[in-house]
Structure 1
Amino acid sequence: MSVIDRRNLFKAALATGVTAAVAGHTTSAQATGVTAAGHATSAQATGVTAAGHAAPAGALAITHPGLLHSKADLDRVAARVSAGAQPWKAGWDRLLANAHAQSTWRANPQATIIRGGTGQNYGILYNDIHAAYQNALRFRISGSTAHGNTARDILNAWSGTLTTVTGNADRFLAAGIYGYQFANAAELMRGYAGFDLARFQRMMRGVFYPLNDDFLTRHNGACITNYWANWDLCTMNSVLAIGVLCDDQALVNRAIDYFRNGAGNGSVMHAIPFLHDGGLAQWQESGRDQGHTLMGVGQMGAFCEMAWNQGVDLYGHAGNRFARACEYIAKYNLGEEVPFTPYTWGTGTNCAQRTHTAVSSAGRGQVRPVWELVHGHYAGRRGLAMPYTARAVAAVRPEGGGGDYGGNSGGYDQLGFGTLTCARG
């Protein structure tokens, strides 16, 4: 379905107050690229085989759009929203109500962004990124050129202005989190009239990627285990997203290899160090606090989804290890108890050891928009039982995005709106 077709369908639905399936709009596997069970069927469109198995890295050309949202995803969401189907309509309404999703948003680009230390101004960046993403979503789902123009103008303003991301060690967080989020907004606007993709790609390669590369290579000069899983994961996300955006298979492969084999805490076996009975697995930051542990669900979920849309199944790596971690985290944050294995790691520059001896209750029950994405894959695509994750989804549905979870940076760590974009059925 083209954007023009999507816009016409959407307008017709609004005009007639359609609440059932829209006449003349197909939801067949041929149109959406998925079967009724939610398994991808078109290798060309989705990068998976007819049996639903991901192709190996490098086996296919890079697919566009191919980060958090594929064309099949966008077509499916447009159809559900146009039909007034729930929960997608509730997710759409949540998007429409967000101040960042308005076509009146105006960019405030800066030449230098600072996170950590004196002169911090990074909130300007993450607010504009979320506005670009949310307006881009509105355009891709409804076809509204007013919102497309706003997303384009935000992206162009920053690519024509930003030259430096700096600060203390937190600059690496900024380069990772905002790097992959920025790339996702740009991927949605690929091909849009007036969007300077080439200049945006140069910004991503010249401003964000050097910090990503430095962190994965040197870890700020610290012991390899000093930085928590989320530091690696956001950096890996940015490398992967920039690779897709820039059609750079080497970067895509580098990020995926790090997920499988990296020495830092973001690689899957380090991020999820212990398996437990009952289909559970302990997250690396579980003894630290629950806010960052929940952030880990969002970061690893985003990485796996972007890889999936490039034909690589990391969700299923090591016997669905990530699914078991999601169940562990969801169970504890729903108020139930979980087992805990003492976790020891090296800190600082000399790898001085520290140990967590119990799961942390700090931030327990915090609400973050991280659950729909992982539930949509494991329960929706794969048909796996995810009872605790399903309960977590129900507790936060419909998920919002940046601007819906407070004004500090934690409220912008995920792009969100998973109910709209990731719910399946």
Structure 2
Amino acid sequence: MSDLHQTESGRGPSFGRRNLFRGAIVVAGGLAAAGAGGIGIAQAQSFTHPGLLLQADDFDRMRSTVQANREPWISGWNRLTNNSHSFSSWQPRAVERIIRGNNGTDPENYWLLMNDMHAAYQNGLRWKISGDTAHRDAAIRILNAWSGTLREIGGWTETSLAAGIYGYQAANAAELVRGEPGFDRARFQSMLANVFYPLNNDFLVRRHGTCDGHYWANWDLCNMAAILAIGIFNDDQAKVDEAIEYFWNGKGQGSIQHVVPFIHGDLAQWQESGRDQAHSMMGIGLMAEFMEMAWNQGVDLYSARDHAFAKAAEYVARYNNGHDVPFTKFVWYNGHNCAYNEQTVIGEGGRGQGRPVWELVYSHYYGRLGRAMPNVWEMLGKIRPEGGGGDYGSTSGGFDSLGLGTLAYVQERKPVALNRLQSYNLQDRHVRHAYYDVRLDASISPAADAQFRLVPGLADKTGVSFEAANVPGYYLRHYSYDFRLDPNNGSSVFAADATFHPVPGLADGSWTSFRSHTHPDRYIRHYDYLLKLDPITTTTGRADATFRITS
């Protein structure tokens, strides 16, 4: 089926070539802000390896959690080891010519490349975690076979899908074994540069001679991902720049200005939402993988357009969880003559389907940033642990993402201990949230809504923020000097309102008081059993503003 289509509507203002490319740089596990001026094109001239979807610390985390038999990583590991693609006995089936799309003469055989690239990735991953060199050797055997054999990718227009999807996946598989004995890296780099990249580039530039808006977003996204992955694997800065430039300013539906055509508050309509849900989820997976590869090279694209991708992921997840979402009429122009098309309702096809694309999204926005992603979290409750290629059927849709996110991407939230806030002058009472209001109540059982994770302050790491233990991504924050439990929407205002600075207790220095980040003259206190943000004098409120952190 042809993947035709697209939009001229909903486009935001154009971005200059140097806008916001390096919004944040990964430094020692945290984030360091870029300079005041936005940057739109990659500046680094050296590359981190391994540095595509996974980095060295990701392998360390997977190895330690699996060895300790910890959830959810061990369930993700079991999903990997039960997949036949991860068996070290896998034998490659390399051919000189791959065909995807019916061109009237050649039979399709792209499934050979598709399965082998997932087998190489899964074996490489097993080796990285277990140390079993039989899996490393299997990955090398597969990759060497293809780089020594493949000469052409052909077919109909779907050639662009094959070059895009399997191109970025091939580079990721090869990154796992890039410096290992027996792997012919130079030959693999040559294959990526000479067989895959010309097709990726041609699609983004020429688009088979069609209107700019003709093709669905996933066509752009897979070719963007391939160019970025090839650029990183080949240490080719020009290709990395090309992919990032297209992300910001590309004429097709995969650029950030087009892939999210409409913002609906904390939700954002995805470009393929009016088409169907299987392709919408495919696009979410491809964009997340594109952004993660950039992130691992020190480039933050996740925050583009005020975290529009987070809002889009929430939108797609919410609809596929069975809830309603807003939908704005989507207009595009397709074909060689730019014919007018429109979608007026959201597409229901494939609604509720499970795809292994959500862990990576959640890992970044919640795992790294602490942002609430309630709809993605609800989806994860249905599909965990995520599998990989071969776990979702034998057709191409089951291989669009490398998957295995429960094993590979889940971030540890630190500190892991759960805490309660005990009142100094009413020591039988603790702070709790009840229906998102915040009050001081007598101990309750179970006390899940009286437990919090004390995490580094969202606005200032020297402070603290109180994350609800039973509602991930929801924090205590002040609002008009009252307190409530709200989802972290990623804004600077929310971060500031949810950040507090511990000081010696105002009534007893062995206890703790919490000064507001936004109002340094005010402290958390209780009044009529409700939490307030009030100024404290030398004579009033000191005991009310004093607490003990208990486990």
TM-score, length-normalised on structure 2?
0.68
Secondary structure of the 2:31 match is coil
Q: Letter of the 2:113 partner, please give it.
A: L
Unaligned runs of 5+ in 2: 1-24, 413-551
Q: Which of the pair is proportionally richer in helix? A: 1
Q: Is 1:230 equivalent to 2:218 in the alignment?
A: yes
Distance (Å, rounded) in 2 between the aligned partners of 1:253 and 1:64:
18
Which residue in the other structure is 1:276 paired with? Answer: 264
Distance (Å, rounded) in 2 between the aligned partners of 1:368 and 1:170:
21
Which residue in the other structure is 1:377 paired with? Answer: 364
**Aligned-residue offset at 1:80:** 1.0
Q: Which of the pair is proportionally richer in strand? A: 2
Which residue in the other structure is 1:162 paired with? Answer: 150
Deviations 1:258-311 (A, max 9, x none): 11111110001100110002x000000000000000001100000000000011
Distance (Å, rounded) in 1 between the aligned partners of 2:365 and 2:130:
28
Distance (Å, rounded) in 2 between the aligned partners of 1:69 and 1:212:
23
Deviations 1:382-416 (A, max 9, x none): 11010001111111100000000000000000001
Secondary structure of the 1:252 match is helix
**Aligned-residue offset at 1:138:** 0.4
* Equivalences, count: 380
**Aligned-residue offset at 1:60:** 5.3
Secondary structure of the 1:51 match is strand
Q: Is 1:51 equivalent to 2:39 in the alignment?
A: no
**Aligned-residue offset at 1:40:** 4.9
Q: Is 1:201 equivalent to 2:189 in the alignment?
A: yes
Q: Is 1:351 equivalent to 2:357 in the alignment?
A: no
Which residue in the other structure is 1:424 paired with? Answer: 411
Deviations 1:128-152 (A, max 9, x none): 0110000000011111100000000
Q: Letter of the 1:210 partner, please give it.
A: P
Secondary structure of the 1:400 match is coil
Q: Letter of the 1:61 partner, please give it.
A: S
Distance (Å, rounded) in 1 between the aligned partners of 2:72 and 2:26:
21
Q: Is 1:69 equivalent to 2:49 in the alignment?
A: no
Distance (Å, rounded) in 1 between the aligned partners of 2:238 and 2:128:
28
Distance (Å, rounded) in 2 between the aligned partners of 1:306 and 1:392:
23
Q: Is 1:104 equivalent to 2:92 in the alignment?
A: no
Question: Quick one: structure 1 residues 418 and 54, their matched pair in 2 at CA, closer, same or farther if it must change by over 3 Å?
Answer: farther
CA contact (8 A) 2:87 2:123 kept: yes
CA contact (8 A) 1:230 1:292 kept: yes
Distance (Å, rounded) in 2 between the aligned partners of 1:52 and 1:201:
32
- Picking from 284, 299, 304, the partner of 2:286 is 299
- Picking from 310, 318, 321, the partner of 1:334 is 321
Q: How does 1:19-418 map to 2 (within 5 A)?
A: 40-42=26-28, 51-53=31-33, 57-59=42-44, 61-117=46-102, 118-277=106-265, 279-418=266-405
**Aligned-residue offset at 1:249:** 0.7
Which protein shows a greater Rg?
A: 2
Distance (Å, rounded) in 2 between the aligned partners of 1:209 and 1:71:
26
RCO (CA 8 Å, sep 6+): is it higher in 1 or 2?
1
Secondary structure of the 2:340 match is strand
Secondary structure of the 2:355 match is coil
CA contact (8 A) 1:242 1:251 kept: yes
CA contact (8 A) 2:327 2:345 kept: yes
Quote the sequence identity (%): 56
**Aligned-residue offset at 1:53:** 4.3
CA contact (8 A) 2:45 2:237 kept: no
Distance (Å, rounded) in 2 between the aligned partners of 1:110 and 1:60:
35
Q: Letter of the 1:64 partner, please give it.
A: H
Question: Quick one: structure 1 residues 70 and 106, their matched pair in 2 at CA, closer, same or farther if it must change by over 3 Å?
Answer: same
Q: Letter of the 1:378 partner, please give it.
A: Y
CA contact (8 A) 1:53 1:313 kept: no
- Following superposition, which runs of at least 4 residues in structure 1 exceed 4 angstroms of deviation? 52-56
Larger deviation: 107-116 or 78-87?
Answer: 78-87
